[in-house]
Amino acid sequence: MSGIAAILMKYLIGLVGITIVVVIHEIGHLVTAKLNGIDVEVFSFGLGPKLLATQHKGTEYRISLFPLGGYCRLKGSDDLSQALIHKQKQFTHTEEGSLFSAHPARRVLTYLSGPIANLLFAALLYAILASLPTQVITNEAVVATTGEYPSLFNNQDSPAYEAGIRKGDKIIGLGETPIDDWQALEAKLAESNGLEQFTIQRNGETIDIEVQGAPKPDGGYRYGLTPIQELQVGSVRYGSPAYSQGLQEGDVIVSVEDIPVMNQLDLLTVLGDHTEDEISFTVVDTNGQERDLRFTPGRNEGGSFVLGFSLAVNTKEGENERFSLIGGIRKGWNVAEETISSLRNLVSRRDADLRSEVTGMARSALMIGDITTLGFESSTASGIRGLLYLMGVVSISLAVVNLLPIPAFDGGQVIIAGLEWITGKQMRPRTYYHLQLMGVAFVIVLFLILTLADVRHFLALRR
C-alpha cells in the first residue's frame, strides 16, 4: 500500500465513522416524525444525486452519490412556498402530515430526537466498550530519576536521586506493598503521604531506601522518578521512512548518530539535540546482526520528529465491567460536559490553543482514521476500541452543536416551536423563512471557516 493509499484509507475509515453518526441522528428524526404524524418525504443515506431509491409508506429511501452523512426531509416545503407567495401572515390550509400542521409540542419532540439519538448511541458505545476485555500496558518498575535527564525534565531535581536511587534500579516494594510494575508504583505514589520506603533491586542486591517526597503545587508529592524502557522495536508504520529503510519489529536500537543509547530517555535526549533532517540509527536484529539505517523522519506541528515506529511493550489482561447503559450514560455525560466547556472557552477566547485545534470534516476524518489505524497496528481489538470511542465523541459533539440556538440547527427549531407552544401564536411564514436563511448563511460561513482551518493545517504540515 502506497503512502497515498494509506492516507485515503484513513480518510475512508474516518468518513465511515462520521457518516454512521450522522445517519443515527437522522434516524432519530425519521422515527419520531412518523410517530408524531409528520410525513418524511425523503430519507437519504449520503448527499448529492440519488443512485438508488425505493418508496415505503410515503417516504422515499435513497442512497445518494456521496456517502457523507445523510439527511431527513420533512414535509412542509410546499406549505412554506404557498404562504410566501400569497403573503400570508400565518400558515393556512396546510397539507395533512405537514410540519406546519403539527402541534408545536410534536415538532419540539421531532427536532430533539436527533440529538437524543446521538446521545443514546454514544452511551451504548461506551457501555459496550466498558464491558469488552482489554489489554493494559505493564512496564517493569525499572526507573531513572529526573535529575539524571535534566534536558528532558527542565532541570527538575529528584528527591529519589538525593536519597540514593539510581538509573536502572528495579523497585519491588513500597513500604509493605509488593510492586509488580510501574503502573502499580505510580498508583501507590499518587496516594502517598510524603514519606515512603522503597525496596529496590540493584546488581542482585536488595536495598531499602527512604525518600521524602517534594510537595506538588496541586497536592500530593513528587519523587522525581520515571520508568525506563528498552529500545526494542514493537511495530513499524507501513510506508514510513523507517519502514522504507528496513527497520523491523524486534530490532533493538543501540545507537543514534553514533551516540550509544540504552533506553527511551537516552533516545529522546539525542533526538532533542539533533537539528538535521536526516538521522542515523544502528540496530541489532533478532539474529544478532548489526546494521545502520539512515532516513528523514516526518515532523509534527511542533517540529518534533515523528519516527514512524513504536517500542515493544508488555500487556496484561485489564479489568472490564459488566455491560451497563447507566455507566455508558455517565461516560457520555462527562464527554458532553467537556465538549460544552470547550465550546464555552472557544467563544470566550480563553483558550488560544483550543482555537488552533478547531477542525472541519476533512481533518476530523483524518484524525479518526489515523488514531484507528494506529490502534490496529497494535491489535485488531485496539483499533476497534479506538474507532468506537471516537465515534462516541463525534456523536456527542454532533448532538451538542445541533442544540445550539441557531435557526438552521435543531436547537433553533426547538426554540421556534417552543415559543409557538408557549404563546399559542404561530410565527409568520416570512419571519420563519428569513430566520432559516440566516441559519443557512451561518452554516455556509462556518463550513468555509472550518475548511480553511483544515487547509491551513495541511499546508503547515507540508512546510
Q: Cell numbers of 231, please?
A: 529500545
With b meaning 16 or more CB within 10 Å and e meaning fewer, what string describes 293-319? bebebeeeeeeebebbbebeeeeeeee
Predicted local distance difference test score (pLDDT) of residue 257: 92
Domains (ranges, CATH) in the chain? 1-12+108-134+322-463 (no CATH), 137-227 (2.30.42.10), 233-317 (2.30.42.10)
Predicted local distance difference test score (pLDDT) of residue 432: 87
| DSSP bridge partners of 47 | 66
3-state secondary structure of 436: helix
Across 30-34, average pLDDT: 95
Q: Cell numbers of 259, please?
A: 551516540
Write the DSSP string, 239-263: TSHHHHTT--TT-EEEEETTEE--S
Nearest in space to 25 (alpha carbons), one of 92, 116, 94: 116
Between 140-144, 145-149, 346-350, 376-380, the lowest mean confidence (pLDDT) is in 346-350
| DSSP bridge partners of 372 | none
Predicted local distance difference test score (pLDDT) of residue 452: 79
Q: Cell numbers of 79, please?
A: 406549505
Across 334-356, average pLDDT: 69
Question: In this predicted model, which residue has the larger pLDDT, 184 or 319?
Answer: 184
Amino acid letter at 409?
Answer: F
- Residue 255's CB: how many other CB atoms inside 10 A? 19
Nearest in space to 413 (alpha carbons), one of 432, 394, 428: 432
Predicted local distance difference test score (pLDDT) of residue 354: 45
Predicted local distance difference test score (pLDDT) of residue 355: 47
Length of the chain: 463
The pLDDT of residue 6 is above 80: no
Give dist(CA 116, CA 414) in Å, integer. 13
The band of 458, judged by pLDDT with boundaries at 50, 70 and 90, is low
Cβ atoms of 33 and 75 within 8 Å: the answer is: no
The sign of the CA dihedral 83, 88, 91, 96 is: negative
Most confident of the following: 65-69, 80-84, 402-406: 402-406
The pLDDT of residue 441 is above 50: yes
Across 225-240, average pLDDT: 90
Mean pLDDT, the chain, rounded, equals 87
The band of 182, judged by pLDDT with boundaries at 50, 70 and 90, is very high
